[in-house]
A = this chain, B = another copy of it.
Amino acid sequence: MSDLTLCECFARDGLQHETDFVPTAQKVALVDRFARAGFARVEATSYSNPQVVPQFADASDVLRALPRIDGVYYKATCANLRAVERALGDLEAGIGANEISLLVSASEAHSLRNLKQSRADQWKRIEAMAAAAQGRFRLIGTISVAFGCPFEGVIDEASVLADVERFASLGVRHVTLGDTIGVATQAGTQRLFGAMLRAFPDVEAIAHFHDTRGTGIVNYLAALEAGVRDFDVAFGGVGGHPAKVKYGGGVTGNVCTEDFVNVLETMGVATGIDLAAMMDASLVCESTLGRTLASRVARTGLNPMLARASTQTRVA
């Protein structure tokens, strides 16, 4: 039983910026390890152009070899219609992912720089992708820089809500708001997610925040209080940062799985994660990348009082 759903992003978002190729068998073992540890959603791979992102040249091979656990969503990232067609091909071959993602930027400037498309053109692409994928995969819409843009600054909240509505009109029932550059505040997080949950009660709200400035857990707990029950995390906080800023040797940006699970369980919020399996997976992730990652709990261990802490208090 769990009070919320965590999506473990290490194997895709985490590996995205790693220059050393992680062997396919290792990727498969990682994704399966995450699912067995209790993550109900796992980013498995990306149907990227192998020439642009060689790390995921083995997308179909990973999915072919991956054992499946009932009820777990294995996500594949799709950047364009060609990616969706590959995902559909694998699905027909019986080896497909069961969840794919569609990405839009909240700001025009970020869309042009990050997606090389205007927002209008990107929405046209998303419409085509959603039409092709509809009914075959669970669709996850993601709105990046929803809490602030490095180029345009403050983002109009009404515009973000209009993007949520547009996803909903395409049949997308899960929409992620991203704090891509780590500038959200507790109040802003609660205001925007609160408005989204009120306006779109049939859309599941997902938080994907980057811990660029140490505010990831702060804002995830604010989102939790606002009613959000879906959070993206990555072991060791790897991945995520668009500017590939280096922290002590590693690209980071995502909220550390270990640290977020520790604080939730300490609060009495049931994550559904097997804590011993999580700490094992944490070690495996560090060993996969061959360096110390950003999780503090990985260094210090779980709260020693977790075993004693009441787990009776549950989020309603």
Contact flag A213-B303 (CB < 8 Å), given A183-B266, A263-B218, A267-B186: yes
Cβ of A304 under 8 Å from chain B: yes
Contact flag A154-B308 (CB < 8 Å), given A213-B303, A214-B296, A217-B214: yes
Contact present for B304 and A213 (CB under 8 Å): no
For chain A, residues 205 to 249, give those with C-beta under 8 angstroms from any C-beta of chain B.
Answer: 211-215, 217-218, 221, 243, 245-249
Contact present for A150 and B213 (CB under 8 Å): no
- Quick one: which of B214, B247, B292, B296 contacts A259, CB cutoff 8 A? B214
- Contact residue range for chain A? 35 or more
Query: This chain: how many copies in the complex?
Result: 2
For chain A, residues 128 to 157, give those with C-beta under 8 angstroms from any C-beta of chain B.
Answer: 148, 150, 153-154
Measured between beta carbons, the chain B residues less than 8 angstroms from A218 are 217-218, 221, 263
Contact present for B263 and A296 (CB under 8 Å): no
Contact present for A300 and B212 (CB under 8 Å): yes
Measured between beta carbons, the chain B residues less than 8 angstroms from A267 are 185-187
Contact present for A221 and B186 (CB under 8 Å): yes
CA distance A183 to B185 in the complex (A): 23
Cβ of A297 under 8 Å from chain B: yes
Bits for A289-309, please: 1 = Cβ < 8 Å to B, else 0: 000100111011011110010
Measured between beta carbons, the chain B residues less than 8 angstroms from A297 are 213-214
Whole-angstrom distance from the CB of A245 to the nearest CB of chain B? 5
A211: nearest residue on chain B (CB-CB)? Answer: B296
User: Which positions in A face B, CB cutoff 8 Å?
Assistant: 148, 150, 153-154, 181-183, 185-187, 211-215, 217-218, 221, 243, 245-249, 256, 259, 262-263, 266-267, 292, 295-297, 299-300, 302-305, 308
